[in-house]
Each structure stands twice: as C-alpha cells, then as structure tokens.
Amino acid sequence: MGEGISDYTRFVVDLRRHMWMAGVEMELRRLIWQIAVTGKYISAKIHESNRKLAGYKNLYGEEQLSLDRSADEILKNQLQYSGFVREYASEERDAVIQIGKGEEKYFVTADPLDGSSLVDTNLSIGTIIGIHKESVFTRGRDSMVAALYITYGPLITMVYSAGKGTHEFVLNREGEYVLSQEHIMLEERGSIYSPGGLRKDYTKKHLKYLEYLEAAGYKLRYSGGFVPDINQVLIKRGGVFTYPALMKSPRGKLRLLFELQPMAFIIEEAGGIATDGEDEILSLRVQDLEQRCPIYIGSRFEVEKAMEFLAAN
C-alpha cells in the first residue's frame, strides 16, 4: 500500500462482507444485519430520551414509554414481516408473539435494553439477542444458531457469533459496522472477576470461591451492566462473570433465555465456558420465559474452579 493512504481506503471489512466471507447462511446474514442496524435506532432513542427512565412525558404531553419498552417496540417493528422471523420473545413481554406468517426460519429472543437503570449514570448499557432455528422451549444447544450483543458506550460495538467464531465490530462515523476483532479467543485464565449480587446474600461455597479469586489477585470489575461486564471478560481475553445463587433467591437473578443463553453461545465460540455452577447453560432446557439461573461464565480455569468449590462438601 502507498504511504499516507488513510485507514478508510484499506480493505475495510464490514459486517455483511464478514458474514458472507465466513459462510453464514444468507437469511441469517440478513437477519443479523437488520438487528445490528436496529441498534442505531435504539441508540438514537437513548439519546432522545434525555436519560429519563420511565413515566416521562414527551413535548406533546404523550406518555413516553420507558426505554426498555421503546427499545422493545423498535426491535419488534424492525423484525415484524422481515420475512425471517416467525416468533419474537422479549424480556419486556410476558409471552412469545408470532410476528411472521408462520413459516419463517428463525425465532428471536431479546433483552432489548439490558442495564437500563444505569442510563442516567451514562455507564454503558446493551442489547442482547438470541437467534434460534426452532421453538425456544428446548435446550439452547439444540435450538440456537446465532447470538449477538450491542454495547452502547463510548463506541457502539456489536459482537456476534453464528457458530463460526466470535467477532467484534465498531460502528464508525459513517454508520458502518467495521470489523475490529476477528475470532476472539479467551486465554486459559484471566485476571478479572465480576461478582454480581450482595456479599451478605452469598452461599458459603460461593463466598469461598470469591475469596480464592481475591487471594489469587484477581481484580474486581463490576459495573452492574451485564453486557459491558461480559464484554470486558471477552475483550480482556479472560476472567469470570458470576451472578450466583443467593440465599434468598437460589435461582439467582439473570434470565436463562434472554441473557444467559446468548452470552453462553458467544463465550463458548470464543473458547470459554458458561455454567449454572453445575451444568452448561446451553444444556439447560428452557421451561418458561421467566426462568432464571445462577451463572459462572468466562475462561475455562476460573469457571472450572467455581464448579470445584460448589461441588466440594
């Protein structure tokens, strides 16, 4: 390449080209692309909402939907009649809805806006998407074909996997998703941990595990936003995120279908593992939309160490 040629004239790999080069099936490429584009509209809504959370009247005096519900509406409207999506399940809705004619290929799950309670602090928040080839009421291992998340932070980034590795894109000033990190692979172990929940509510075994990590010098990194907290483990190539079973809530807090399955799919494609402390997240059968479960997710060493502590008598 000649001297002084700007980055923008190098071989810029955008999302659509990447998925085509990776051999992702055409309809799935178009669906992932459409969801990634929707992230721009959700980001615009976050800006427009002036960081109000809910019960906010817009200048016409209309009741402004909370950001969670606005993001959900935007996603549903984008996916409805897209020709690719038969059913849509969302953290903001209490039932799966059919949004296609009934023969479309894919079933989409969404946490439209994760961490929305942080929006007033200007900390990063995100959107989490799972893409299934059959009804979601089964094991993720059998139904999932892709997963993605979008982070709304200093940059807007999108991380996806369609079963051929985990890759990160950055939304550039021209509004294109440009490849920034390809085939992200976690190391065997990392140096950060994200301990969800409250120490006073931890079980003895979980507490012992955290004390082990702290004694081994792991750095605590926790924003309270699942998407940036997981993203940090991925981009730093290791470490562990946990939101454990708590004394008062043995199933923990995070939702299997909307939050844990997509992140487990992405982290496994990056060489990591995701369990509820005993079983792999993707081997758990989804019984209902509200199903929550404890999570230990990240690089192999830390997650297997957690399972050891939890199995000890």
Partner touching 225 among ligand AHG, Mn ion, none, CB below 5 to 8 Å by kind: ligand AHG
Per the listing, tokens 């942080």 go with 118
By CB under 6 A, residue 116 contacts ligand AHG = yes
Size of the site for ligand AHG (CB under 6 A): 13
Which residues are CB-neighbours of 139 under 8 A, at least 6 positions away? 282, 283, 284, 285, 286
Out of 115, 130, 190, 294, the residue judged to bind ligand AHG by CB under 6 A: 115
By CB under 6 A, residue 38 contacts ligand AHG = no
By CB under 6 A, residue 140 contacts ligand AHG = no
By CB under 6 A, residue 226 contacts ligand AHG = yes
Out of 130, 140, 195, 225, the residue judged to bind ligand AHG by CB under 6 A: 225
Partner touching 305 among Mn ion, ligand AHG, none, CB below 5 to 8 Å by kind: none
At residue 91, the 3 state secondary structure works out as coil
Nearer to ligand AHG, 100 or 262 (CB): 262
Nearer to ligand AHG, 100 or 130 (CB): 130
Q: Which residues in 235-254 contact ligand AHG (CB under 6 A)?
A: 243, 253
Beta sheet of 177-181, edge-to-edge order:
97-98, 85-90, 106-114, 125-132, 144-152, 156-161, 166-171, 177-181
* CA trace torsion 252, 90, 38, 178 (10° rounding): 40
Q: What is the DSSP string of 127-154?
A: EEEEEESS-SSSBHHHHEEEEEEEEESS
Nearer to Mn ion, 259 or 302 (CB): 259
By CB under 6 A, residue 111 contacts ligand AHG = yes
Which residues are CB-neighbours of 28 under 8 A, at least 6 positions away? 19, 84, 105, 106, 131, 145, 146, 162
The total of other beta-carbon atoms located within 10 Å of residue 4's CB is 5
The answer to whether 165 touches 275, Cβ cutoff 8 Å, is: no
What whole-number distance in Å separates Cα of residue 39 and Cα of residue 48?
A: 14
The answer to whether 303 touches 271, Cβ cutoff 8 Å, is: no
For the chain, the straight-line distance linking the first and the last C-alpha, in angstroms and rounded, comes to 62
- What minimum distance in Å lies between the beta carbon of 198 and ligand AHG? 7
Q: Which residues in 218-277 contact Mn ion (CB under 5 A)?
A: 259
The total of other beta-carbon atoms located within 10 Å of residue 259's CB is 25
Q: Which residues in 91-110 contact ligand AHG (CB under 6 A)?
A: 91
One character per residue 171-210, x = contact with ligand AHG (rule: CB under 6 A): -------------------------xx-------------
Size of the site for Mn ion (CB under 5 A): 4
- What minimum distance in Å lies between the beta carbon of 116 and ligand AHG? 5
Joined tokens for residue 36 = 């990634």
Out of 72, 87, 104, 111, the residue judged to bind Mn ion by CB under 5 A: 111
- Which positions lie near Mn ion, rule CB under 5 A? 91, 111, 114, 259
- Which residues lie near ligand AHG (CB under 6 A)? 91, 111, 114-117, 196-197, 224-226, 243, 253
